[in-house]
Structure formats: structure tokens, C-alpha cells
Chain A
Amino acid sequence: MSSLFEMGLAGRPLKDIFVFDTHAHGGPYHVRDLDGCMEAHLRRMDRAGVDVTCLMAYQESGGATLERHNDLVSAFINARPDRFKGYCWITANYPERILPELERCFGGLGFSGIKIYTYSGSYDDLRYAPMYEFAHARRLPILAHTWGDDSVRQLARMARQYPEAAFLVAHSGAGDVAINIEEALRTPNLYLELCFSGGTPWTVERLVREVGADRLIWGSDATLFGIGQQLGKVLFADIPEDAKKQILGGNARRVFHMEEVPCRPSTSTR
């Protein structure tokens, strides 16, 4: 069997391990023209060997069209629940809509997590409290956009306050990674999600060494980025194969409370 390094170099799909993409987008994006349909996304996942993707809409959906964008994600989930999960996107800029939207998304639309973004202000803003309580009570993952800055510290404070929720620090590796490391070491329910457009040398190795592979989570940021570049950061890292498997899927399985699932769906979508 080829090593994961060799698989990545040859661009072979990762068929023998469980791969969970915890950070991806569905639907249209205002500055790019791309195929955001479900079939296209499934084809991209199959090419890389991604088993399950947790989707959200794009960031501009935090405004008036938030519910419509969550509906779009729900359509992915309901069409292929074996391949897609979803984050319910909420924003503190419309605080009156937070709980109703959470109740709607988790009351039958099939969502698995919550997405928040920095345009809504500080993550320790009191307007977010109902959402954190909701996630804490249901042991939900919360994916938060960050950039190696104070947003990580804000999120970590909330993670310590709501220990039953899992807090996924998006774009760990961007900005000052020392902040992510420091906060992860203080906060057991903080997970470092790795996607960002750059690929700084030895960042994954450093995070594994200083925080541990069990606290790193892989995401692609598709359909903004290609899946391959983000996979490469882990596949080519100078870390043990087991650590790569943990990062690419094992940890997400735990965070998303998934039962044991086969590595590969029984029928190809291609």
C-alpha cells in the first residue's frame, strides 16, 4: 500500500482512510463564477477521496438572505445525507433571528453544526450567548472564522465557558499561529481547523508537536479553494501516518459524534 505522501504526490483518491472535510461551502459566491451544484461537489470529493463534507453557505449569507442560504445547504444534506452535513449560519448582527433559525435548522433540516464569522463582532459578544447555550446543551460543533488573532482568544474564552460544545478554529495556521497553540493548550474543546490559502512550511508539524494530532481538524474551504492544496498540507507533513488519519477524519468523527462509518460509500457518485 502506498504511503499517504505518495498518494498525494500522485493525486490518487484516499480510498483507504476516512476523510471528513469540516470546512466547505455550497452555493454561489459573489466574487467568483463556479459550479456550486451538488453533483460538481460530489465529483470533487470523489476525486480526492473525501467521504463526508460539512457545508455552509458563503459569508455574505449573514445578511437578509441567511435563511435562504441555510435552506440551500439543507438541500445538499437531504439529497445525500451519507455525504453531506451542514452548518447552520447565524449572525449576531440579527440577534432576534438566532434562536428561531437554530430551532428551524436543528428541528428537522438535518444540520450538524453552527457557523459564525467575525463580521458579527467579537465572539464573546453577549448577543451570541443563546447560540452558545444551544450548542452546549446539544454538544454541537461550532466552526468560527478566525485569523490567528484576537478572534481566537475570544472564541477560546467561550469554549472554556461552554465545555460541552466543540469549537473549531477555522484557518489555523494563518496569522499568528502561536495564539492558536497557546489557546488550544488551555482549552480542551478547542480544535484547530487547518484550511487557508497559504501553505507555510512546517506549520502542521509544529501544531502536531505542540498541540497534538488529536486536536487538529482538516477542512478544504472548497469551493473557494481546491481540495487538493489543502489535502497536501497534511499528506506531505512530516508526521506519522496515524496522525494524518486522525487529522483528516478521525477527529472529526469524534467531534461530529458519528458512529463508525465505512471508508467509502458503497456506490460511486461519478
Chain B
Amino acid sequence: MTDKNRQPAQPISAPWPITDAWCRPGPYAARRPGSPYSMADLVAEHARYGIRRRVCLHAESREGIVEEGNAEMSRLAAEHPCTAVIWTALPPLRFGADPVGALMVRARAAGVGMFAMFPTTFLHHLRPWANGELYAAMAEARLPLALDLGEANLFDTIYEIASAHPALPLVLWGVMYTHERLLIPLMDLCPNVHLGLAPRFVSCDGIENFTGRYGARRVIYGSGWPGQAPGPLIAHVAYAEVDDQVKGLILGGSVRELLQNVAWPVHGLEVQS
């Protein structure tokens, strides 16, 4: 744990049970010395805000050896019962890949709550023609797919996936505050697309306008930790001109519902925080 991660003298409870739906513990390549990165750092940082539940992808799954990162995230989650797990999925059509069925069996056994794909980092297709079998299996299991627009600004591709697999929940991260005109047609046409706030969907009136148009269940708080602190986006929601029920859904209710809808029990949901 870094020396900077410390709890306030009197822990403060948030008015809403907050789930941080997009955080990434584990050592990563571009870390600056002194910056937080470990699971212990994350838990301590969350404690400052009274956040007791999180949905995590391991840093190794984001930029390194996916299988090792996925296994490490599941191991860490076993030590932290309020932690749901995101695995990075690689495309099924490659040398040495598990059949999609076997991957889903492993995910079920591990209680995985979400898959993520990073087509630029891992150099693969995202379009349905290449990964259709995987998306179909995920849709059948109602297992959400997280995509990061920060690495691949692929609105057309996302539309193709979402419209070809309407039962597949998609959660978009890395949406910029200037992306509203790109998002609106996509979210209008694809009710399975969800807007994640991390790290920079901070647009003025964005919470009000998007929850007004799509409902609070389409908007999900995640921090983007360790690149971003958890607090500023919480304040972005807390100060929005929407009612408390909407804030509660964005800050945790929406993602908990998505995870509860997965075909198997998701690790990290079963313990009441």
C-alpha cells in the first residue's frame, strides 16, 4: 500500500451504497513511483468514500498476459468478498483458443461478472463476423461485455454488435464528454448499450440529459481507478439535478442489476455490504 492511501479519522458513509464498476488493480507498466496500484490501495481508497463493493479487471488482463491477469483477479476477489470480477476475453478464432463453450464453463465456475475486450491492445477484431459465437454465448448467459472507447473509438462496430446481439448487455467506458452526438443514435437504437462514466464522461448536464432520455439503469458509475480517483465522478453524480433514486442507481444499483441478471451467481454480489 502506498503511504498516500489512508482512511479519514472517522470513516464517512456515502448516502448511497456505491459500487465502483470500473477499476483495475494490479501492477501496470506506466505507473509513476508513489502512485497507488494494488488491491490493498484500491480497498483503502474506496474506504475513504464508504465504497464497499467493486467490479474489477486486473491490470495484467488489460495490458499483458490475459490468462494470468484473469486468474489473478479471481484470486484477489476470493480474498475480497465484495469484489466482482471482469475477465478480458480474447477472440475465439485464434491458435490455441479454448472453445467458446469451455470459456463460458470456466467463467461460470469462477463466478465472473463481466467480460471486457481490448481489440487495439490485443490486436484482434471486434466485429460480430469474427466473434459472433462468443457474443451469442455471452448473450445467452446475459454476461455483459465492457468496451473501452478510449482504446477503440468504434461506434459503428459497437452498433453492429449491439444490434446483432440485442440480449448482450454492453457497457461503454472511455466515453468522452464531447461524444454526446455520437452516443445518442447508438443508445436510441440499442437498448442493450449502457453508458459508463469513467473516466471522462463529465459533461455538464450529462447525467440529467442521459438519465432523462434513457433512464438511470442505462448509466453506470465506475471510477477508472488507478488512473482516476473515485471521488470526482461520485461528486459529478451527487451534484446532478436528478432525484436520489436516480443517483442511487447510477452509483451502484444499475450495475448490480446487470450482474444479478447473469445466468450464474456472480462472485462479489452474494455478500451484503
Is the interface on chain B under 10, 10 to 19, 20 to 34, or 35 or more residues? 35 or more
Contact in complex: A233, B180 (CB < 8 Å): no
Is the interface on chain A under 10, 10 to 19, 20 to 34, or 35 or more residues? 35 or more
Partner of B236, one of A10, A35, A224, A226: A226
B213 at the interface (CB under 8 A from A): no
Partner of B239, one of A3, A47, A199, A224: A47
A257 at the interface (CB under 8 A from B): no
Alpha-carbon separation in the docked complex, A5 to B229 (Å): 14
Q: A11-B247, A201-B228, A231-B235 are in contact. Are A225 and B202 (CB under 8 A)?
A: yes
**How many pairs of A and B residues are in contact by the CB < 8 Å rule?**
132
Q: A32-B180, A197-B177, A229-B202 are in contact. Are A9 and B238 (CB under 8 A)?
A: yes
Specify which chain B residues have a CB less than 8 angstroms from the CB of A228 in the assembled complex: 235-240
Alpha-carbon separation in the docked complex, A43 to B206 (Å): 15
Contact in complex: B207, A226 (CB < 8 Å): yes
Contact with A along B204-226 (1 / 0, CB 8 A): 11110000000000000000011
Specify which chain B residues have a CB less than 8 angstroms from the CB of A5 in the assembled complex: 8, 12
Partner of A197, one of B200, B241, B247: B200
Specify which chain A residues have a CB less than 8 angstroms from the CB of B233 in the assembled complex: 199, 229, 232
Identity of the chain A residue whose Cβ is nearest the Cβ of B229 in the assembled complex? A201
Q: A9-B12, A34-B204 are in contact. Are A225 and B177 (CB under 8 A)?
A: yes
Contact in complex: A199, B204 (CB < 8 Å): no
Alpha-carbon separation in the docked complex, A227 to B232 (Å): 10
B residues in contact (CB < 8 Å) with A: 4, 6, 8, 12, 14-15, 35-36, 45, 48-50, 176-178, 180-181, 199-200, 202-207, 225-229, 231-241, 247
A residues in contact (CB < 8 Å) with B: 3, 5-6, 8-11, 31-35, 43-44, 47-48, 197-202, 205, 222-233, 235-236, 238
A to B CB contacts below 8 Å, 24 in the list? A6-B12, A8-B235, A9-B235, A9-B238, A31-B178, A32-B178, A47-B241, A199-B199, A199-B229, A199-B231, A199-B233, A201-B225, A202-B36, A222-B204, A226-B239, A226-B240, A228-B238, A229-B235, A231-B235, A231-B239, A232-B235, A232-B236, A236-B49, A236-B234
